[in-house]
Amino acid sequence: MNFPVHLTANISSHNGSFNRSFDLNKGLTVLLGPNGSGKTHLLRGLKNSFGTHVCGKKVRFLSAGRMGMLEQFRSDFDGHRGGTPNYDDATYGGKQDSTRRHQIETLSGDFQTLAERADILVKIQERLKKLFKRDLMIEWDAGNLKILFSRLDAESQPYSSGREASGLMHLVGILSALYDDEVGALLLDEPEVSLHPQLQAFLLNEIISVAGHPSEGGNKKFVVIATHSTEMVQITRPDDLLSLVFCYDLNSDPVQIAADAGELKNKKIQGLIARLGQEHKLSLFCKRPLLVEGPSDMMICSALSSKADIHLEAAGSQLLPVIGKGQMPIVAKLFRILGKEPVALTDADGIADGLDLVNQFLTDCSVADTDAAVLGFASATAMANNIYGDFCKLVQGRWSEISAKAEPHPYWVNKKAGEDDLAKRRAVFCTLFTIDDADLSKLVADDAWLKIKQRISALLDVLEKSGLFVLRRGSIESYYQKSDRFISIGKPRAAADEMEYISQLDKAEIQAHYADVLRCVQFASNAESICEADALRDLLLSVAAPAHARLKTGGAANNFNILARSILGDRSKIFDLAVIDEAMVISIASKILSVTGFPLTISKDDDVVKSVSAALASNT
């Protein structure tokens, strides 16, 4: 086999023409990335790049919209069918189309293959019969190709493919392309479209069975897919990561792990890959996975993001509970080599016990190094080592000064035998952030505890800019307002109760109680909150200002809505303008916009901009 195969995709986009390159390290290569990241452009750009690698065979591209013109038979596509599609008229071209079947980017080309190749038809018929109790028949009607299905588990007449489930239609078409030994490279955009998860798993197995280098002979072919489905990603060993290509933006090169990457030989990473779960695979599809320490953390973060209108997933993040103490550094390292920007929310012991996780986030972090330099340190890592070392010495040498304050903390109360030193560091760390500065100053004359708190706070600020957030009070349970903070640790039931409590709070209250968690969630989302009032501001000012000017000159009230229409056209229907008691009153006519502050009353002597801004400010 002649792997790797280096390919260059020639892409023509709205931003001009350019090239993107990556390697095929195995028969199956998977493109991952969010909508709009350029996967389809990259996939299509490969059509003319295989050259001699396909050994004289065809290159087949199947689009995500592969139903194509078939939808005219399966739906009331133009609203003139009375709700009844022309199911029975579904056709797939004429005999003259068979010569172009490999160039056709829809299922019509694959059904032409079934009409042309009896052996491929037999393979698919056998699978349909045994797995789905269906049979498939080819029929020519006045020169037009028609596909008929029949059910084997019930007495029924053959019926048009226009009436068959879209998932089965997609499956039959893709299988036809997979089994076609005239094809040396198959490019599949979103093979999971319309497929049930179990069908996706079946299709992936079929893809893997034919994926390989065409030079192997038989029906081996390169398969490159672009997908949003975890079912289409199989990772069982480190080498499987070499077949993943991550797309983040069309204007930047895709990210791929180098075949000789030393990280893949790391025993901890090898162990992690061997036990990757569905949640890990979901995180492969995002840019900024948010790592948390367990299910309870995940539940609380989810509740807070929902309450604060922070759209984590839509903004390119994904909550990932990392089970097992000490696993977070290696998970973060794995995501970094995949070109991602992991964000972590760790319990206080994630820093009180040592700097493994801290160093993972500070390595090669220019922002953190710059901030550390301002504070007089050679690097952020040097800053962390210096402050952590002094903290440990202070706890070890002067425990008695703060023990009365620290011993009530759950870290000390729930300590295990033989872990006194760990428990001291953990409990003291949290105590520094749970009692106010005035109380810390009263502990000792030299303010040693207040000074170390200030230094640690500076370090935590640097860490947060690098994506590492520390729960300063302890674990997530230390922030609970309803559930017991001592006995709720690790209990999903308690987390569920706390979620219910969070749902009843307003935004100011959740900010007051869960500020450390919210900062992390907001950083991971890296997106502004959705506020429909912001979208209305310019529209509202564009009609309010001229209407207010007319009000001052005694303009008639019934002209204001006409004025608004002349300015905004149909968009003016959002507002209703009236004059009541010599003041202009603007109401929101729409029933679906979530905007408060209306009706808005503006008197003749009011400042329009200030009045509008004050009304919309209540929505932020």
Pick from 68-82, 202-216, 345-359, 464-478: least confident: 68-82
The answer to whether residue 62 scores a pLDDT higher than 90 is yes
Q: What is the DSSP letter of 221?
A: B
- Tell me which residue of 11, 39, 219 sits closest to 119, measured CA to CA: 219
Task: Give 418's DSSP letter.
Answer: T
The predicted-structure confidence for 87-118, as pLDDT tens digits, reads as follows 999 999 999 999 999 999 999 999 999 999 99
Q: Measure the CA angle with vertex 289, ends 285 and 290; round to 5°.
A: 150
Is a pLDDT exceeding 60 seen at residue 557? Answer: no
pLDDT at residue 602, rounded to an integer: 92
In DSSP terms, 189 is beta-bridged to 226
Reply yes or no on whether the pLDDT at 406 is more than 70.
Answer: yes
Query: Considering the chain, what is the average pLDDT of its residues?
Result: 91
Q: Pick the closest to residue 596 from 531, 544, 505, 538 (CA basis).
A: 531
Q: What is the pLDDT of residue 517?
A: 97
Residue written as tokens 């002209």? 559
Residue 165 CA: distances (Å) to CA of 177, 350, 520: 19, 51, 44
Task: Decide the pairing of beta strands 58-62 and 134-141.
Answer: unpaired
Confidence of residue 409 (pLDDT cuts 50, 70, 90): very high
- Residue whose structure tokens are 């995949």: 338
Share of the chain above pLDDT 90, in %: 68
Among the residue ranges 113-122, 412-421, 457-466, the one predicted with the least confidence is 412-421
Task: Quick: pLDDT tens for 225-238.
Answer: 999 999 999 998 89
- The pLDDT of residue 489 is 76
Instruction: Using the predicted structure, report yes or no on whether residue 177 has a pLDDT greater than 60.
Output: yes
Residue 378's contacts (CB-CB under 8 Å, 6 or more residues apart) are 372
pLDDT of residue 601: 92
pLDDT reported for residue 504: 94
Using 50, 70 and 90 to split pLDDT, how confident is the model at 262? confident
Give the pLDDT of residue 560: 86
Where do the domains of the chain lie? Answer: 1-57+181-260, 71-171, 286-525, 532-617
Please tell me the distance from the alpha carbon of residue 147 to that of residue 70, in angstroms, as a whole number. 12
Predicted pLDDT of residue 127? 94
- DSSP code per residue over 303-324: HHHHHTT--TTTTTEEEEE--S
Alpha carbons 284 and 280: distance in angstroms, whole number: 7
Span 189-225, pLDDT tens digits: 999 999 999 999 999 999 999 999 999 999 999 999 9
- Does 3.40.50.300 match the CATH number of domain 1-57+181-260? yes
- Helix or strand (DSSP H, E) at 198: helix 197-210
Report pLDDT digits (tens) over 280-331: 888 999 999 999 998 999 999 999 999 988 888 888 899 999 877 688 999 8
